[in-house]
Structure 1
Amino acid sequence: MTYIIGEIGQNHNGSVDIAKLIVDVVSRPIHDKLFNKELKNMDAVKLTKRDLSQELSASQMRRVYDNQNSFGKTYGEHRQFLEFNDEQHYEVYKYAKEKKIDFVETLCAIGCLSILKLFTPDKLKVASRDLTNLPLLEALAETKIPIILSTGMAGKMELDNALDIITKYHSDISILHCVSEYPTQYQNVNLKTITWLKNNYPNYSIGYSDHTIGIATPLAAVAMGSQIIEKHLTLDRQMKGTDQAGSLAIDGIYRMVRDIRNLELSMGEEDIFIEDSVKIAREKLERSIAANKDFKKGDIITEEDIHMLSPGDGYKWAQRSEIIGKKAVNDISKNEIIYSNDIS
């Protein structure tokens, strides 16, 4: 079953209450009304932890940041406003656990590992930009917590270097195909990378971190064998913030999870067979051998005397040798199905 991660990221806008509301949305039951079926909801939520002292150069932190999405006069003030402290991360973690949802944490600097004094996330996520931050990768790997790598800014060399570092400590690693374009244009998605990753890294779980608008590409990724899907979430795509417009809101979250779970049920097995569930439709709609004229008891049936009509509970055309040349033991009306009790 696909492991679905809802990325809260910075869409909490600095509010623990908003983060908890997103957890509430994620944990809601997924009910397919058409077939009256309860489906598994999203598996996890994800937050991102930054250490601003290890984040940007001093000049970038002082850079004027004046736009409709700004939460501060400088970029540093903006980032500080959106940053939860360790205790706030722990509060959201506990709330997710109360709702029986896994908690994934992106740690963007070695200093962020202080959070592990309070709790242990179910998984650690490495942001695309940090795949080449080998000191950070080593510090994360030393924790032995399962790691998810995002490849949004990486090629094979960068990915292999990251794996070489982490596998010194453990091999519980997942790799997500990703394109670090926000939002990602569809011609840049290149979902076939998923197949390439599965073929070239068969020892790891392969998935897809999506930055497109909508739910079509995550569904396609699941159909191509993705074992993990990650998608940005929000309460309202009109909210202030740079990631809100490219995220899934409440209805979109429901539809994506519902459709992924139904897609999983649809995959089946590599074979062709008649499902038990089609028995009623087959009997109603398939065709059977029928009389194309009135028969009297004792008449001999020839191939010119038969054709095909519904329902499908009689002889098939491939079985016509069991009818042709036989004698009618009952009167058979024109355009009625010929059954076994009608012939000798």
Structure 2
Amino acid sequence: MKKIQIDNRKLVHNYCEPYIIAEIGANHNGDMNLAKEMILSAKNAGADCVKFQSWTSKSLIAKEEYERNQVYNDSKKKHFGSLKEMVEKYALTDAQHKELRDFCENEEITFASSPFSEKEAKLLNDIDVPFFKIASMDINNLTFLREVASYQKPVIISTGMATLGEIETALNACYKEGNDKIMLLHCISIYPPLYEDIHLNNITTLQRTFDVPVGFSDHTIGTSIPLASAALGACIIEKHFTTDKDLPGWDHEISADPKELKVICEDSKNIVNALGSYKRIVSEAEESKKLRFRRSLVVNKDLNKGHVLTKDDLSAKRPGTHIPPDQVNFVVGRSLKVDVSNDDLIKWELLN
């Protein structure tokens, strides 16, 4: 089983306790105080990492797209103007990247970000992020993938919108740079997706096909689907995160709030621990419980010394401290050494 050191606190492999990434993305809305509040809230909920997005108005979107999308139709998304104005407002400066990295380091939670160009990848490498996260949109951006992989740090690639062939090509692009520390996230790039379009079993498909650690990047509302991914061995769970779903902005509505993130952090670990072994094991606690909860053979009537026992003379009742009912055939046909009363437990020493 392939294992990858994702930061100085976590070794990641399939079926490990999931590494939880709170995807703040652009939910900070360009407000550094809000960004720091979200970092602290994610840490308190139990997240291993907070992740942002690294782009500028020039590195993310072309002029034609800006001209076609002057405003969003959603009332929360068009809260202050055009698409370009929102991108400029939500973009983090170089100095803000460093400020947030330092804040996370001081608070002992991992800082990470998704770069959207070579320049931003270099910035993240310069401030020493422990890993890179590649968004689904860039899985076929092979020149960019090779550049990111060349830094020889772990790379997590989301697979939304991608075929198995495209995923294989992306992995090979990274491997050709001598970097084999690559992880995949099953992802559906719809916000939120229909349940029937999620296909969580693809986690198993990716594990078996590519023999790499596989996680889940979740865009559903609520906690049930990311928790289900843990039962399939997802070693990373990435979930959009906000302190308030009603804040204006792109992703708040489909993000987990602090209560939901805490459920994901705690219960995903419980699920992995509960999966346990494929080997059938009876625990010490269950062994001791057998004595109280299983049954022993009893007589169901008063019987005299010398009586030869038949099945009709016997019943099985708690506790399980004496002759178990699966040994009834070794009791039938034997005679009693003493008189017994209705409901008495049968003991081997009472039998001839």
**TM-score, length of structure 1 as denominator length:** 0.89
SS in 1 for 2:254: coil
Q: Which amino acid aligns with 1:246?
A: I
- Is contact 1:103-1:123 (8 Å) kept? no
Shift in Å, 1:105: 1.5
Give, in whole Å, the separation in 1 of the partners of 2:44 and 2:124: 28
Give, in whole Å, the separation in 2 of the partners of 1:94 and 1:269: 41
Q: In the alignment, is residue 56 of structure 1 matched against residue 61 of structure 2?
A: yes
Aligned twin of 1:45: 50
- Is contact 1:71-1:77 (8 Å) kept? no
Q: In the alignment, is residue 65 of structure 1 matched against residue 74 of structure 2?
A: no
More deviation, 139-148/69-78: 69-78
Aligned twin of 1:32: none
Aligned twin of 2:8: none
Q: How does 1:1-344 map to 2 (within 5 A)?
A: 1=16, 2-28=18-44, 41-61=46-66, 63-65=69-71, 67-70=75-78, 72-116=80-124, 118-169=126-177, 170-202=179-211, 204-297=212-305, 299-329=307-337, 331-343=339-351
Give, in whole Å, the separation in 2 of the partners of 1:98 and 1:324: 74
Shift in Å, 1:280: 4.5
- Is contact 1:71-1:78 (8 Å) kept? no
More deviation, 151-160/325-334: 325-334
Instruction: Structure 2: give runs of 5+ residues left out of the alignment.
Output: 1-15
Percent identity between the two aligned chains: 29
| 1:140-186 Cα deviation digits (max 9, x unpaired) | 11211110111112112322222222112211000111110001111
Give, in whole Å, the separation in 2 of the partners of 1:315 and 1:110: 74
Shift in Å, 1:129: 0.6
More deviation, 334-343/86-95: 334-343
Give, in whole Å, the separation in 2 of the partners of 1:339 and 1:20: 70
- Is contact 2:295-2:320 (8 Å) kept? yes
Instruction: Structure 1: give runs of 5+ residues left out of the alignment.
Output: 30-40
Give, in whole Å, the separation in 2 of the partners of 1:322 and 1:97: 69
SS in 1 for 2:162: coil
SS in 2 for 1:301: coil
| 1:191-225 Cα deviation digits (max 9, x unpaired) | 121121112101x2111111111222212222122
Give, in whole Å, the separation in 2 of the partners of 1:58 and 1:149: 27
Q: Which amino acid aligns with 1:54?
A: S
Give, in whole Å, the separation in 2 of the partners of 1:343 and 1:100: 69
- Is contact 2:125-2:151 (8 Å) kept? no
Give, in whole Å, the separation in 2 of the partners of 1:239 and 1:257: 23
SS in 1 for 2:25: coil
| Structure 1 residues 164 and 298: alpha-carbon distance in aligned structure 2, compared to 1, 3 A threshold | same
Give, in whole Å, the separation in 1 of the partners of 2:281 and 2:301: 35
Shift in Å, 1:247: 0.9
**TM-score, length of structure 2 as denominator length:** 0.87
| 1:22-68 Cα deviation digits (max 9, x unpaired) | 22223227xxxxxxxxxxx3322211100322221224335422643
Give, in whole Å, the separation in 1 of the partners of 2:341 and 2:50: 67
- Is contact 1:295-1:333 (8 Å) kept? yes
SS in 2 for 1:194: helix
Shift in Å, 1:295: 3.3
